[in-house]
């Protein structure tokens, strides 16, 4: 079964860092880019960036460029998203999502992880 399974909820203090994992099942891990999207409580969806699991190449939204790092471990079909210097407004559910290409060769997100709640509080 094709699925993405994320790590569990985290509680962090301001200034700390967090690393969320996303493990792929049921498909060729290196065949699809993986994206990260976050959602603050009661708010909308915010795209953070992507990683190419085959090459490790990444692209981040400019907003996150200085403080997010996406990596992967192909031996265990897992990608990671690390955020540093956490602030209270980083409290959100973080999702990984698999990219597929549509008829125009544009990205769509067809498979999503279940989400990981990261709470930043002193």
Measured over the CA atoms of residue 60, residue 24, residue 18 and residue 110, the dihedral's sign is positive
Which letter, b or e, does each residue of 76-95 get, where b requires 16 or more Cβ atoms within 10 Å of its Cβ?
Answer: ebbbbbebeebeeebbbbbb
Region from 13-21, 24-32, 70-78, 101-109 binding another protein, contact rule CB under 8 A = 101-109
By CB under 8 A, tell whether 114 contacts another protein.
yes
> Distance between CA atoms of 18 and 53, rounded to whole angstroms?
20
Q: What is the nearest approach in angstroms of another protein to the Cβ of residue 31?
A: 18
Closer by beta carbon to another protein, 9 or else 16: 9
By CB under 8 A, tell whether 44 contacts another protein.
yes
Q: What is the nearest approach in angstroms of another protein to the Cβ of residue 93?
A: 9
């Amino acid at each position: 079964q094709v699925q993405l399974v994320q790590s569990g909820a985290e509680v962090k203090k301001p200034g700390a860092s967090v690393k969320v994992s996303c493990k792929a099942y049921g498909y060729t891990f290196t065949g699809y880019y993986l994206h990260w999207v976050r959602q603050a409580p009661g708010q909308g969806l915010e795209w953070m960036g992507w990683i190419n699991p085959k090459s490790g190449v990444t692209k981040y939204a400019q907003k996150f460029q200085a403080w997010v790092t996406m990596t992967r471990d192909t031996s265990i079909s897992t990608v990671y998203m690390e955020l540093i210097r956490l602030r209270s407004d980083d409290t959100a559910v973080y999702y990984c999502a698999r990219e597929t290409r549509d008829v125009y060769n544009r990205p769509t997100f067809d498979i999503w992880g279940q989400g990981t709640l990261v709470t930043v509080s002193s």
